[in-house]
């Protein structure tokens, strides 16, 4: 056992501050409709750190049914682990802040290509098949219903318009067509499956024995969470005590930060592609990464036990709902603020049955993995070099952490701190896969079509593959075009005219995270309005697609 069960009353307020960071990141960071929240990138390093001998749970805590969760001894056991996570997250977040606002990430973009981003994002979702399968496996019938409804609403009924009553000043009460299934496929599927589980629970169609198959589909299995949660609780920095720091934890979470940065870069490009926006320019990427670092720092200060990053799940939701709006993200953040501060509301969502969550995970994680793989569209996949880099990175990203988790004793070097660092890094799937992808992509030479006409086929004299082969040429062309377009200036400029109408000092051009004034036109400078819609391969808006204003 590597972690303690934290009382629900202590966890719900954390969501409010994570969602608050999402509002800031959407408005001031990359300017894309991405929700910021707790990241899976920190889960593996956190579990690896907590699996060290110093953080092994005491024997008396292993049987949760015999533990008094309100006792001071138990409270101290889980809070000291939260304090350790709190401290290392705050230190590691400073690395992300520095990388973002210094412009270093923009400089490194020339070395980070699709063959680095693709395995990193894919390995965020692929290792979670075990968790998603276990959750769905608690009742495959309910999970299948959830999956069926999501697929039905998002894919088959997405162009079906539903008449909805609308009240306006001119037409008063009237009906208008609304693409309900396209906008709310996940929410509708969740509510219907949740209601089905409630009916089956009330009628006792689901087993009442905790050990019976299907028990986790009942809606009353977590009724104590709702009763124990406070009506109102306002979180504050240092609520768990003074944070602590250990070198192994800092290195491990820093690896998670690096994975989160690479993941976020891929998320920015994926989000822009899904909502029809041009690829983000370098200043938007720098600013987005820096704001995410600030979000991690605040999350650590408030003691959430996790950092924040761009939600790849939100990217998956964008691909399903086809709604890409900053205002939607701000509204979602406000809802999460209410859920976090008012404990009863947040706790009510904890009663969602496990197989419903598992069914949603199977869809969402599959889309995340596909979003990662979709970055390979810029790469020449006829090249055996690229096939090797991607395949080897993915497979080692799954195999190495699995072996290290099963054989932790094989990493003993005689230096405890070094052992801990290796343990954390090598059990983080995204770090292993992303690092191998980055290393191989930047060192393996190319053997391109331009050399095949020779009698021999010597590799090019460069120390790495050609930009065309690696997909960097296409990326750089798209990136340069997005830097110059008025459309990009409208989307990625700071809000309220900052940097265009206000704060336009000549010194700001040296700030790597500041919009470039020369890229703005003479018209509406710094505009925030842009209509986006789903597009087909020819670039035309799909019939019935929901138009979105950013």
Contact status, residue 196 vs residue 206, Cβ threshold 8 Å = no
Candidates 473, 460, 508, 79; CA nearest to 283 is: 508
Candidates 474, 481, 446; CA nearest to 113 is: 474
Contact status, residue 279 vs residue 109, Cβ threshold 8 Å = no
Q: What is the pLDDT of residue 16?
A: 34
Sequence-distant (≥ 6) Cβ neighbours of residue 15 within 8 angstroms: 336, 339, 340, 346
For the ranges 41-45, 91-95, 542-546, which has the lowest average pLDDT? 542-546
Cα-only R_g, the chain: 24
DSSP for 60-103, please give it: GGS-GGG--TTSHHHHHHHHHHHHHHHHHHHHHHHHHHHHHHTT
What is the sign, positive or negative, of the torsion defined by CA atoms of 117, 494, 516, 275?
Answer: positive
Q: What is the dihedral of CA 121, 124, 128, 129, to 10 degrees?
A: 10
Q: With a threshold of 0.75, does the pTM exceed it?
A: no
Three-state DSSP class for residue 502: strand
In tens, the pLDDT along 421-459 reads 777 678 778 778 888 999 998 888 875 454 444 344 444
Most confident segment among 221-225, 276-280, 420-424:
221-225
Q: Where are the domains of the chain?
A: 8-113+140-356
In tens, the pLDDT along 98-155 reads 998 888 887 887 788 888 888 887 887 888 888 889 999 999 999 999 999 999 998 8
Contact status, residue 114 vs residue 441, Cβ threshold 8 Å = no
Q: What is the pLDDT of residue 343?
A: 79
Query: Is the pLDDT score of 211 beyond 50?
Result: yes
Three-state DSSP class for residue 173: strand
Candidates 511, 501, 515, 478; CA nearest to 28 is: 515
């Amino acid at each position: 056992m590597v972690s303690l069960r934290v009382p629900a009353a202590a966890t719900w307020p954390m969501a409010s501050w994570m969602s608050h960071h999402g509002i800031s990141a959407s408005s001031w960071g990359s300017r894309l409709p991405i929700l910021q929240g707790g990241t899976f990138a920190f889960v593996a390093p956190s579990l690896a750190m907590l699996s060290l001998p110093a953080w092994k749970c005491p024997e008396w805590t292993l049987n949760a049914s015999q533990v008094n969760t309100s006792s001071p001894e138990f409270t101290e056991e889980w809070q000291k682990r939260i304090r350790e996570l709190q401290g290392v997250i705050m230190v590691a977040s400073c690395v992300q802040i520095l990388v973002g606002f210094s412009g270093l990430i923009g400089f490194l973009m020339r070395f980070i290509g699709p063959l680095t981003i693709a395995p990193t994002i894919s390995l965020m979702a692929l290792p979670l098949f075990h968790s998603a399968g276990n959750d769905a496996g608690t009742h495959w019938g309910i999970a299948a219903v959830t999956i069926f409804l999501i697929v039905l609403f998002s894919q088959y009924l997405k162009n079906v318009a539903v008449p909805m009553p609308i009240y306006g000043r001119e037409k008063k009460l009237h009906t208008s067509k609304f693409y309900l299934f396209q906008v709310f496929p996940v929410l509708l599927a969740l509510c219907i499956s949740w209601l089905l589980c409630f009916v089956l629970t009330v009628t006792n169609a689901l087993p009442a024995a905790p050990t019976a198959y299907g028990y986790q589909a009942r809606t009353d299995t977590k009724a104590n969470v709702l009763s124990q949660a406070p009506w109102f609780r306002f979180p504050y920095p240092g609520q768990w005590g003074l944070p602590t720091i250990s070198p192994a934890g800092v290195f491990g979470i820093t690896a998670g930060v690096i994975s989160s940065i690479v993941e976020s870069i891929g998320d920015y490009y994926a989000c822009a592609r899904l909502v029809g926006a041009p690829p983000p320019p370098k200043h938007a990427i720098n600013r987005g990464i820096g704001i995410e670092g600030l979000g991690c720092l605040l999350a650590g200060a408030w003691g959430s036990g996790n950092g924040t990053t761009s939600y790849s799940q939100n990217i998956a939701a964008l691909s399903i709902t086809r709604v890409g709006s900053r205002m939607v993200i701000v509204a979602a953040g406000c809802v999460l603020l209410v859920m976090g501060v008012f404990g009863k509301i947040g706790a009510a969502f904890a009663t969602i049955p496990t197989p419903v969550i598992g069914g949603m995970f199977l869809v969402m994680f599959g889309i995340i993995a596909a979003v990662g793989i979709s970055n390979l569209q810029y790469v020449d996949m006829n090249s055996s070099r690229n096939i090797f880099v991607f395949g080897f990175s993915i497979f080692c990203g799954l195999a190495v952490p699995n072996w290290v988790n099963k054989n932790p004793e094989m990493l003993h070097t005689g230096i405890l701190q070094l052992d801990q660092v290796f343990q954390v890094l090598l059990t983080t799937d995204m770090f292993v896969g992303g690092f191998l992808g980055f290393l191989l992509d930047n060192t393996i030479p190319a053997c391109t079509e331009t050399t095949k006409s020779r009698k021999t086929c010597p590799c090019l004299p460069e120390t790495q593959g050609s930009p065309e082969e690696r997909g960097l040429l296409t990326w750089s062309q798209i990136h340069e075009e997005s830097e110059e377009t008025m459309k990009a200036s409208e989307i990625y400029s700071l809000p309220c005219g900052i940097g265009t109408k206000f704060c336009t000092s000549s010194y700001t051009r040296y700030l790597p995270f500041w919009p470039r004034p020369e890229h703005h036109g003479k018209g509406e400078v710094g505009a925030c309005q842009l209509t986006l819609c789903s597009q087909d391969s020819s670039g035309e808006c799909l019939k019935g697609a929901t138009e979105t204003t950013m």
